[in-house]
Amino acid sequence: MADTPPDRPAQAATGATSTPGKSATGDVMPDAVQPASLRIEGAISRSGANGHVDIDLATLQGLPVHRLATSTVVTDGVLDFEGVLMRTVMEYVGARGTSVTATALNGYQVDIPLTDFQDFDVLLAWSANGELLQPDDKGPFWIVYPRDRHAVLQDIRYDYRWVWQLVSLQVN
């Protein structure tokens, strides 16, 4: 495996929790009952009374699924990822901001401009090479850029935006 990008802490493993809720419009949000869930909060229009929404794997898999084959700076060779486009997730929650702060299980955080999700087919991946991502190896979710399709994405500033073991997104 390749080394972690410089100045980027290793991302540790643990479980995620979830809570059900209602959207600001009163729509019942799906319960996040599986351990693999992603909390999204901040400048979103579709949140529970608690100001956030927890989206479970089944809900994400109900959105249009995409596949992406690309290399990474932290693995060998090309991996075949499966997930949903980040722009679709942002549309699903009604994101109204200009950036997201992505947080990993170990507290690693990075700000990502929402324009990345419009300019590139950035994936919220839940599997690689046909196997669900596990918390002890980059899971349950991993933000994956199509780095082999765009030379600009091979710049180190994008490497820092590949957040594995993703647990939350704060829309700013």
What's the rounded Cα separation, in Å, for the pair 17 and 34?
A: 8
Q: Identify any residues that bridge with 28 across adjacent strands, giving them in sequence order.
A: 22
**The residue to which tokens 């956030």 are assigned:** 52
Is residue 56 within 8 A of residue 18, CB to CB? The reply is yes
Residue 33 has pLDDT above 50, yes or no: no
Residue from 68, 128, 62, 49 nearest 92 by CA: 62
From residue 88, how far is each of 2, 13, 93 by CA, in Å?
A: 30, 26, 9
pLDDT, one tens digit per residue, over 50-84 is 999 999 999 999 999 999 999 999 999 999 999 99
Residue 134, classed as helix, strand or coil, is strand
2 band by pLDDT with thresholds 50, 70 and 90: very low
Residue type, 16: A
Helix (H) or strand (E) holding 15: none
Identify the band that residue 48 occupies on the pLDDT scale cut at 50, 70 and 90: confident
**What pLDDT was estimated at residue 35?**
60
* Domain annotation for the chain: domains and CATH numbers: 21-171 (3.90.420.10)
Collapsed DSSP state (helix, strand, coil) of residue 9: coil
Burial, 160: exposed, middle or buried (Cβ in 10 Å; 0-12, 13-18, 19+)?
middle
Per-residue pLDDT tens digits for 83-130 = 999 999 999 999 999 999 999 999 999 999 999 999 999 999 999 999
pLDDT greater than 50 at residue 41: yes
Query: What mean pLDDT is reported for the chain?
Result: 84
Confidence of residue 36 (pLDDT cuts 50, 70, 90): confident
Q: Read off the pLDDT of residues 4-27 as tens digits, 9 standing for 90 and up.
A: 443 443 433 333 333 333 333 434
Instruction: Tell me the two tokens of residue 38.
Output: 């992603």
Q: Are 98 and 114 in contact (CB under 8 A)?
A: yes
